[in-house]
Amino acid sequence: MKKLPLSACILAALLGNNTLAHTNSQISDQAMAEFKEMQVAFNEGANALGMSAERYADVAQKYERFMTKLAAPAGYHDSEVPDDILPFNLLPAIQAAKYHTDGYSPEFEQRLRAEINQNDARLATYLGLTTEQLHPFVKHYAQFVMDGRVMSDNMMGKDNFSIKAMERFEYVCRSECGSFGMTSLDYLHLREGLRALHSGGYYTDVKVVTRNRDGSYHDTAIWRVRMDGRIWRERAANCDSEIGCDQEP
């Protein structure tokens, strides 16, 4: 099937969001501004991943189909999105992990890591990315959505994509907060707490205060919650740019 150029992909997204002006099919000034902003965002994303803007648009389009499947009610089916790509919270090991309150065996951690890696590999393959490119893409694209810089053809408007009202959550680490690796007990228990705060849309940002096991302060950071329960640390809470800013005292 012939691929649409980037401009056509962007325009199609705009048309799908009812941004045409009146009945004469003339694009409004607002729609053109959104069109231009989406072009800029796609170019930024493409440069960050070292690919063409056209390829990035194709990846974004596929990712939107994946997110639509996450958001859709039971019974929804999209034959283009492989059924073996599971929502994060439906991975069997993720569901089992919440019952491990004090720790789990090396064998269970190995199982957990294998299931996450396999699911990520399937998503990366579907998107046409390497596994190394997957998480940078997901994080960058989520930020574009949160900032209202890209539109989606499966929601009614930008306000539905993300919820920016900042929740606050305090978490006491089971160790010394030294690592929030994806298979760590702290990551998985923090995930359970943040998932309960997801307030609608594709993503919710939460200000998380972490404390060491003895109750001493560790840090405050912004964590992002995707609607399927996948979480990641965005930045220190006093910083409006990328990871690497100074943390709060």
Q: What are phi and psi of 26, to 5 degrees?
A: -90, 130
User: Which of 128, 156, 184 represents a domain boundary (last residue)?
Assistant: 156
Contact 35, 14 (CB under 8 A): yes
Helix ranges restricted to H, the chain: 6-16, 29-49, 53-71, 92-97, 106-127, 131-146, 185-195
Let me know whether 50 and 167 are in one domain: no
Let me know whether 90 and 145 are in one domain: yes
Stated pTM of the model: 0.80
208 belongs to a structural domain: yes
Let me know whether 137 and 230 are in one domain: no
Distance in angstroms (rounded) separating the CA atoms of residues 208 and 206: 6
Let me know whether 182 and 123 are in one domain: no
**Cα–Cα nearest to 59, from 7, 108, 125:** 125
Average pLDDT value for residue range 90-119: 89
Q: What is the DSSP letter of 1?
A: -
Let me know whether 83 and 201 are in one domain: no
Classify residue 177 as left (phi > 0), alpha (psi -120 to 50) or beta. Answer: left
Distance in angstroms (rounded) separating the CA atoms of residues 100 and 16: 45
Instruction: Output Rg (C-alpha) for the chain, integer angstroms.
Output: 19
| Burial bucket for residue 174 (CB in 10 Å: 0-12, 13-18, 19+) | middle
Span 167-209, pLDDT tens digits: 889 999 887 787 777 778 888 889 989 988 887 788 899 999 9
245 belongs to a structural domain: no
Span 8-59, pLDDT tens digits: 555 555 444 444 444 445 557 777 788 888 889 999 999 999 999 999 999 9
19 belongs to a structural domain: yes
Span 200-242, pLDDT tens digits: 788 899 999 999 888 888 888 999 999 999 999 987 766 544 4
Distance in angstroms (rounded) separating the CA atoms of residues 17 and 150: 11
193 belongs to a structural domain: yes
Distance in angstroms (rounded) separating the CA atoms of residues 77 and 156: 20
Q: 117 lies in which domain range?
A: 6-156
* HSE-up (13 A, CA, CB side) for residue 184: 14
Let me know whether 143 and 47 are in one domain: yes
User: Which of 141, 156, 171 represents a domain boundary (last residue)?
Assistant: 156
pLDDT band at 99 (very low <50, low <70, confident <90, very high): confident
Let me know whether 227 and 111 are in one domain: no
User: CA distances (Å), 200 to each of 65, 90, 163, 226, in order?
Assistant: 18, 18, 7, 10
Work out how many domains the chain is built from and give that number.
Answer: 2
Distance in angstroms (rounded) separating the CA atoms of residues 155 and 215: 42
